[in-house]
Structure 1
Amino acid sequence: MTRIAEFFSVALSAAPWLLMGLLIAGLIKAYMPEQLLQRWMGGRGFGSIARAAVIGVPLPLCSCGAIPTALALHRGGAGRGPTTAFLIGTPGVGVDSILLTSVLLGPLMAFMRVLGAVVTAIATGLMVSLTATSAPVKLPVVKTTSGCCDSGCSTATGRGHDHASSSHDRVRGRLAGGLIYAFGDLLDDISTWLIAGLLLAGVLVTLVPPETLSGMSGGLLSLFVMAIIGIPLYICATAATPVAAGLLLSGITPGMALVFLLAGPITSLATLGVLRREFGNQALLVYLSSILVVTTLLGWLLDQTLQGLMLNPVTQASQVQELLPEWLEISALGVLLILVIRPLRRRLLGF
């Protein structure tokens, strides 16, 4: 029974915070207009790149989901730098994965993950912006169907803006559309990877002793290898979190866990293909090189800092996990399972 409890401990700890993150993601989906993003990301200087990186952090999109929004912004006038920063910052971390990181790896690791995603996005955006040889041509804006800021999200409820009879109805329609997106489309996008990540984390926590991977940790080479492994191994930010937690408990350094959390979610074959088509081979090479170098250095700096301050993220995580009662964690996991199983969700909730 002890083994079974350990196996499900990660899932129980994660469930309430994941539900809260999905709720916030739905609110962002409902009320952040794409026109506002277009205005904030306009231009090609450092300010636009930094804004694009910061704006992308809370948005509830994986790498593939960020592509149509980024294309729309780029073809609407955003430069290479802001577009690249948005493509990195958005899937690198999200409001749901931030909460999940806080409870599974501790508040310090959550802060470093957000900071690392922003720094990686800004640095890579600046480097890619240098590959532009001439002023880009403003292309027709593509219509996004899965972007987080699609203004037509409320159409899923059948009460879009064109059919609303009052301001109150419009607000309710947007809210309903955002929640249906978060607990329907978004959860469907991440559920397979999320379940796999939770199961793998349970196996690591239960069966792999902490000293197993400790011999493989330490030094720039280990961090660089982790970055090389993470880049082609695309996994969404939320699903990467329990895997990183399991690896950390199995003996890798916090810096290696951070490199995995940064490098894995921000790249996918779809992203690389779009970058190559839109910006060319040189920009793609700069993009990959920058991610490798920046994530490795960030992991190294984290390890050195934690060693100097003698801080342990695992201790922080265990303190956060004790905040919620067991009955709430079990209830939240049950609700999450209902939402993940699509036929059951449709039968009970209607979407």
Structure 2
Amino acid sequence: MELLLEFFTALYELSNAMAWYILFGLVFAGILHEIVPDSIVTKHLGNETVSSVAKSTIFGIPLPVCSCGVIPLATSIKKSGASKGATLSFLISTPITGVDSILATYGMFGWVFTIYRVLTSMIIATIAGILSNIYDKEEEKPAMSFSAINTNNKPSNTQMFSTTTNFASKQEESCESGGSCCSSNKEEKAKFSFSKAMKYAFVTLLGDIAKPLFLGLVIGALITIAIPQNLSDILTEYSWVSYMLVIAVAVPMYVCATASLPIAAAFMLSGVSAGAAFVFLTAGPATNTVTISVVKKMLGVKSLYIYLGSIIIGSMIFGLGLDYVFNITQIDPSSLVHINEEFSYLDITSSIILWSFVLFFMIKSYIKK
């Protein structure tokens, strides 16, 4: 009974900590979908090239979105035509840093740590995106030429689609030359519809991630109650395996980039190396059980392995590098910020709204079966 109470308490706290960021991400994604045409996303992020991955990484760096708030945004750009590599790099770079997190990192650890954190997150995200484009290419859909002959002398569905596509492309070409046929279309695209944005956010996107979100929250709560309270003592006593222990905790755990800072500072003040703290700052915000579930569904198993492997191996390598930098420069964190927050009415209300949507879509999918 006591364990059950601890589980629901952890689930309650986890939901309250994440819900507002997820809802904010959904709203932002819906508005972004209405404002930014799909053609722009396809043009800049749709190709399986290094430039599309780099653009996606740079675009995600300043956004103040956590590892769960980034899920609807990543889902949105993927639906808009972004490649797997660009989507994956965005998923990694965005939650590790953000304007708020960058400023907080500077205030707590200084400029060396801050610059190192931003640059390494860009490198890890870019490498992951490139690897995804190389080893997990998008499946190319076979295209039928318009001249294909049907044995029944009737156009097949594929041929009809090809005809429609060719007609549409010709129509777009004539529009580019100043034809009157597209003036109305351009006007329609220029109009912003808040209701359409919210429908896209809370019906299309949230409907897609409802099931993995539910599983991720439950698994995350189970892991949270299993984490030992004397974690800092364990990491101090076994310094050589502290990286592995931090990875084991950070990967499934939900913690946003800003909230991870005082935890990392506490590790360092407890005797844990700066590199191990850096591993937590990178792997913690970049991954959690919710994001892992969504990545598997949205991008597939190969990209999931690349996603986890890039973050784990990359954070450990750069953690060792940071230990080296701190050793030769003798720079240590000068202050520690303690954050003791109680959940606000906004957090609780957001959690209720999110769970209402999630349970609705879960029940709806179950009824369909």
**Interval of TM-score (by shorter of Structure 1 and Structure 2):** 0.5 to 0.7
Whether contact under 8 Å (1:224, 1:292) holds in the other structure is no
Residue number in structure 1 paired with 2:135: 131
Displacement of 1:61: 1.5
Residue number in structure 1 paired with 2:325: 305
Distance 1:237 1:34, change over 3 A: farther
Separation of aligned partners in 2, 1:88 and 1:79: 14
**Partner amino acid for 2:328?**
G
Distance 1:53 1:136, change over 3 A: farther
Displacement of 1:301: 0.7
Displacement of 1:294: 0.7
Residue number in structure 1 paired with 2:101: 97
Displacement of 1:37: 5.8
Residue number in structure 2 paired with 1:268: 288
TM-superposition CA deviations, 1:93-128 (whole Å, max 9, x none) = 211111121222222222222122212211211222
Separation of aligned partners in 2, 1:75 and 1:161: 19
Displacement of 1:278: 2.7
Displacement of 1:39: 5.0
Distance 1:34 1:300, change over 3 A: farther
TM-superposition CA deviations, 1:319-340 (whole Å, max 9, x none) = xx9xxxxxxxxxxx9xx98x94
Whether contact under 8 Å (1:79, 1:136) holds in the other structure is no
Residue number in structure 2 paired with 1:216: 238
Whether contact under 8 Å (1:102, 1:109) holds in the other structure is yes
Separation of aligned partners in 1, 2:344 and 2:306: 38
Displacement of 1:255: 0.8
Match for residue 286 of structure 1 among 297, 306, 317:
306
TM-score by length of 2: 0.55
TM-superposition CA deviations, 1:24-43 (whole Å, max 9, x none) = x99xx699854466654342
Separation of aligned partners in 2, 1:125 and 1:249: 35
Pairs aligned (count): 240
Q: Does 1:245 align with 2:265?
A: yes
What is the correspondence of 1:144-293 to structure 2 with a 5 Å cutoff? Answer: 214-217=236-239, 219=240, 221-293=241-313
Separation of aligned partners in 1, 2:193 and 2:131: 43
TM-score by length of 1: 0.58
**Partner amino acid for 1:97?**
S
Separation of aligned partners in 2, 1:214 and 1:283: 34
Residue number in structure 2 paired with 1:324: none
Separation of aligned partners in 1, 2:193 and 2:254: 39
Displacement of 1:268: 2.2
TM-superposition CA deviations, 1:112-171 (whole Å, max 9, x none) = 22122212211211222223244456xxxxxxxxxxxxxxxxxxxxxx9679xxxxxxxx
Whether contact under 8 Å (1:276, 1:283) holds in the other structure is yes
Residue number in structure 2 paired with 1:107: 111
Separation of aligned partners in 2, 1:232 and 1:162: 37
* Structure whose alpha-carbon radius of gyration is higher: 2
Share of identical aligned residues, percent? 31
Match for residue 78 of structure 1 among 78, 82, 104:
82
Displacement of 1:263: 0.2
Whether contact under 8 Å (2:57, 2:126) holds in the other structure is yes
Distance 1:243 1:34, change over 3 A: farther
Structure 2: where are the runs of 5+ without partners? 1-20, 142-190, 195-228, 350-369
Match for residue 295 of structure 1 among 309, 312, 315:
315
Residue number in structure 2 paired with 1:149: none
Distance 1:162 1:125, change over 3 A: closer
Distance 1:135 1:243, change over 3 A: same
Whether contact under 8 Å (1:63, 1:91) holds in the other structure is yes
Distance 1:104 1:286, change over 3 A: same
Whether contact under 8 Å (1:216, 1:252) holds in the other structure is no
Secondary structure of the residue that 1:78 maps to in structure 2? Answer: coil
Whether contact under 8 Å (1:117, 1:262) holds in the other structure is yes
RMSD: 4.0
TM-superposition CA deviations, 1:210-255 (whole Å, max 9, x none) = 99954433x4x43233223210112111211111122122211111
Distance 1:80 1:257, change over 3 A: same
Displacement of 1:264: 0.7
Separation of aligned partners in 1, 2:118 and 2:136: 28
TM-superposition CA deviations, 1:178-219 (whole Å, max 9, x none) = xxxxxxxxxxxxxxxxxxxxxxxxxx9xx99x99954433x4
